[in-house]
């Protein structure tokens, strides 16, 4: 016999089944079992019902669908807990008088791992991923993660997991002491039931993580100082990593309940802060970017397995790891990707195009007379592809542009996490769908554009403004320092080399230029360039422009992207600054009409995205 909890909008959120004396409570809130108010209440009720039932002796918590649990419901963030708080729910689970076993497959992330930590025993499949990624949203774990994890895996390892946000797999979790046992990918539920049955047979009851301090390593001299120093270096500018360390430290210096309260206060303080708001914006922006409203859901997505490099620009590029030029960078990225064969010219002979799914060239003219298969995609990767190559000529429905963003220092590949996809006026839906699939296969965030690539166009405007500032009296080093202090990696801007010489804006004379002016003018003109692209239909959403800068040009995640930053500061102020610049420097500085309109309406770029969604 089974029962289900149907709460909130009449969605079924948990399903309880019985196998003998064991209750199996399945979390059932697709797609990721996020711990929404309805699911929190559902788990509480299901656990309480099983606890009260004299015929039941133990409880297995398991995830229905793809995973155990993807964490707290991020869409609820920014508001106080409704119904029952996550921390209160986990206390309730940990206090349960009957043993509770977490059976984990897929993901146990954030609140999902915290839920597992509040259970009395844990099993997982080898491929499961367990982690506390809250730091990536500018937060600390807010429901006991910083208190229970160090008690299970030791303080140093917990610091590592919580501060980096990186998950571990099931096997590593077992070695760390996070799990009691591994279970086969198929048959997790049966193994968890058998495990719970053994607990009952052996008279082993609840085992509460909060009661065992033996693995805390708080006496270790220098542990926290070293963690703080490393985090300051590795996550320059980010607030959350330091807050995570403070919470883990509290596990050893405060009684459990007080440390939990400290963690929760820290969580809510960070949640209200600009950094977490920006990082949450970035999280959803990345997921939105993958959606192309006018792309039919059934557009055929062909696998890309064989790529040919065409034209003189890409000759011999594939294996050089070359960092110069988007075409050569993309060629290097493709040639390093698993499952892809990349053919390039041998000597003077062009590669054999037969059987190739994609032909990549550095110029649109190189695509004009190719003897490629009729189904092959013809892609150009250049900062500014010749628009006529996308709009005129044969087989235009197969043609599009691809751009991998800037080369980032320290990145394992000569590029970023971005793949801009430029649609031509005639690009066929299946060609676009295939390019989106390629981006996903490469582990890249796709942003679909029209009229030109977003990144290079905006970068051009930023570099021009930087050049003007130098012309007016700033030194290239000062400009580079100001932008670096803002959090931008200078390499994509070309600031490691000499800055391009800019035309001095009319009315400007060589003078001392303040750091504030440099930052303001660089950012304001960059946002203006973004607004112009947006109003011309070159980007689907303002947040796509943010994704380009976050994923492709080293924009710091804690600032959420240029358009988000402008929204946060207010568009009337931006408009006024651009108008003042135009008064001094000429009409080229006048704000985009979209900025004028939104500022007049009291609107934000994000409102446009919301209206379109
Ligand atoms: N709360 C609310 N919604 C969430 C969510 C969460 N914790 N995690 C994912 N989602 C949503 C996504 O926004 C997306 O919605 P959409 O389809 O409307 O765009 C959907 O669930 C699927 O997520 P997606 O990221 O596309 O799936 P995936 O399989 O690639 O990755 C996760 C799944 C769980 C690994 C990934 O979504 C993730 O990292 N989530 C955040 C985890 C986290 O930080 N948890 C801590 C919060 S305390």
- pLDDT, one tens digit per residue, over 246-298 is 999 999 999 999 999 999 999 999 999 999 999 999 999 999 998 999 999 99
Strands 445-450, 418-423: pairing kind? parallel
pLDDT of residue 317 exceeding 60, the answer is no
Q: pLDDT by residue (tens digit) across 39-52?
A: 999 999 999 999 99
Q: Where are the alpha helices (DSSP H) in 399-475?
A: 429-441, 454-472
Q: What average pLDDT does the segment 212-236 reach?
A: 93
Judge whether 431 and 377 are in contact, CB under 8 Å: yes
Pocket test for ligand 1, best of 34, 66, 70 (most atoms within 8 A of CB): 70
543 vs 281: CA distance, rounded Å: 8
Report, as an integer, the average pLDDT of 547-566: 95
What pLDDT is recorded for position 8? 47
Please compute the mean of the pLDDT values over residues 126-138 and round it to a whole number: 98
The protein residue whose alpha carbon is closest to atom 10 in ligand 1 is: 32
Q: Distance between the two ends of the chain, CA-based, in angstroms?
A: 42
Q: What is the pTM of this model?
A: 0.92
Per the omega criterion (within 30 degrees of 0), is the bond before 280 cis?
A: no
State percent of the chain over pLDDT 70.
91
Mean pLDDT of 163-189: 97
Position 10 scores a pLDDT of 42
Among 108-117, 313-322, 401-410, 586-595, where is mean pLDDT lowest?
Answer: 313-322
Six token digits for residue 456: 């290079």
Reported as a single tens digit per residue, the pLDDT across 366-390 is 887 788 888 899 999 999 988 777 8
CA distances from 24 to 16, 35, 532 (A): 5, 18, 55
> Ligand 1 atom 14: the closest Cα is on which residue?
287
Reply yes or no on whether 114 is catalytic. yes
pLDDT for position 346: 75
Q: Estimate to the nearest angstrom the gap between the alpha carbon of 60 and the chain centroid.
A: 32
| CB of 34 shorter than 6 A to ligand 1 | yes
Q: Is the CB of 75 under 6 A from ligand 1?
A: yes
Distance 267 CA to ligand 1 centre (A): 19
Q: Which of 37, 134, 264, 430 is catalytic?
A: 134
What the block records as the tokens of 249 is 């430290």
What six digits make up the tokens of 74?
């991020």
The single residue of 15, 37, 94, 114 carrying the catalytic annotation is 114
Domains of the chain: 5-271 (3.90.226.10), 306-438 (3.40.50.720), 456-537+540-612 (1.10.1040.50)
Compute the distance from residue 531 Cα to the ligand 1 centre, in Å. Answer: 29
Contact 88, 95 (CB under 8 A): no
Q: Is the CB of 145 under 6 A from ligand 1?
A: no
pLDDT at residue 414 in the model: 44
Bridge partners (DSSP) listed for residue 69 = 108
Torsion angle of alpha carbons 287, 289, 293, 295, nearest 10°? -100
What percent of the chain clears pLDDT 90, i.e. is strictly above it? 76
Tell which phi-psi region holds residue 602, choosing left (phi > 0), alpha (psi between -120 and 50) or beta: left
The answer, yes or no, to whether any atom of ligand 1 lies below 6 A from the CB of 111, is: yes
Report pLDDT digits (tens) over 458-485.
999 998 999 999 999 999 889 989 998 9
pLDDT for residue 500 is more than 80: no
Please give the structure tokens belonging to residue 178.
């996070």
* Residue 34, pLDDT above cutoff 90: yes
């Amino acid at each position: 016999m089974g029962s289900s909890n149907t709460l909130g909008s009449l969605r079924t959120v948990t399903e309880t089944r019985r196998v003998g004396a064991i209750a199996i409570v399945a979390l059932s809130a697709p797609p990721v079992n996020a711990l929404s108010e309805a699911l929190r209440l559902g788990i509480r009720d299901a656990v309480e019902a099983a606890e009260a039932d004299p015929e039941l002796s133990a409880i297995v918590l398991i995830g229905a669908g793809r995973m155990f649990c993807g964490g707290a419901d991020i869409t609820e963030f920014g508001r106080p807990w409704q119904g029952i708080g996550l921390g209160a729910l986990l206390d309730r689970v940990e206090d349960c008088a009957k043993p509770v076993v977490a059976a984990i497959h897929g993901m146990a992330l954030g609140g999902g791992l915290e839920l597992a930590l509040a259970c009395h025993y844990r099993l997982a499949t080898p491929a499961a991923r367990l982690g506390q990624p809250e730091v990536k949203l500018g937060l600390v774990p807010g429901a006991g993660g910083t208190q229970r994890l160090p008690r299970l895996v030791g303080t140093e390892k917990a610091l590592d997991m919580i501060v980096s946000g990186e998950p571990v797999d099931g096997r590593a979790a077992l070695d760390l002491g996070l799990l009691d046992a591994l279970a086969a990918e198929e048959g997790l539920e049966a193994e968890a039931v058998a495990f719970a049955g053994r607990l009952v047979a052996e008279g082993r009851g609840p085992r509460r993580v909060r009661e065992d301090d033996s693995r805390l390593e708080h006496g270790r001299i220098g542990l926290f100082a070293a963690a703080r120093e490393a985090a300051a270096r590795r996550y320059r500018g980010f607030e959350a990593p330091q807050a995570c360390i403070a919470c883990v430290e509290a596990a050893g210096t405060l009684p459990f309940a007080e440390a939990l309260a400290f963690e929760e206060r820290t969580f809510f303080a960070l949640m209200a802060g600009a950094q977490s708001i920006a990082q949450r914006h970035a999280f959803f922006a990345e997921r939105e970017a993958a959606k192309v409203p006018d792309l039919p859901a059934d557009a055929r997505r062909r696998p890309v397995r064989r790529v040919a490099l065409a034209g003189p620009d890409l000759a011999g590029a594939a294996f050089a790891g070359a960092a110069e030029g988007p075409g050569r960078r993309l060629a290097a990225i493709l040639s390093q990707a698993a499952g892809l064969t990349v053919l390039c010219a041998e000597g003077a002979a062009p590669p054999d195009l037969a059987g190739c799914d994609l032909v990549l060239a550095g110029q649109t003219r190189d695509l004009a007379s190719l003897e490629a298969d009729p189904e092959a995609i013809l892609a150009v990767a250049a900062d500014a592809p010749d628009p006529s190559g996308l709009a005129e000529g044969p087989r235009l429905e197969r043609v599009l542009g691809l751009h991998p963003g800037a080369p980032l220092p320290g990145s394992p590949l000569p590029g970023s996490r971005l793949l801009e996809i430029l649609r031509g006026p005639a690009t066929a839906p299946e060609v676009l769908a295939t390019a989106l699939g390629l981006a996903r296969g490469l582990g890249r965030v796709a942003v679909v554009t029209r009229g030109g690539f977003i990144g290079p166009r905006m970068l051009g405007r930023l570099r021009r403004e930087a050049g003007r500032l130098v012309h007016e009296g700033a030194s290239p080093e000062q400009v580079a320092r100001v932008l670096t202090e803002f959090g931008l990696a200078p390499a994509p801007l070309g600031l490691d080399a000499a800055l391009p010489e800019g035309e001095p804006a009319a009315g400007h004379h060589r003078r001392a230029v303040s750091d504030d002016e440099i930052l303001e003018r660089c950012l304001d003109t960059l946002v203006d360039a973004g607004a112009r692209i947006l109003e011309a239909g070159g980007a689907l959403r303002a947040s796509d422009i943010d994704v380009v800068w976050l994923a492709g040009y080293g924009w710091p995640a804690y600032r959420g992207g240029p358009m988000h930053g402008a929204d946060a500061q207010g568009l009337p102020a931006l408009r006024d600054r651009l108008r003042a610049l135009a008064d001094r420097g000429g009409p080229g500085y006048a704000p985009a009409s979209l900025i004028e309109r939104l500022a007049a309406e009291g609107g934000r770029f994000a409102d446009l995205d919301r209206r379109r969604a």
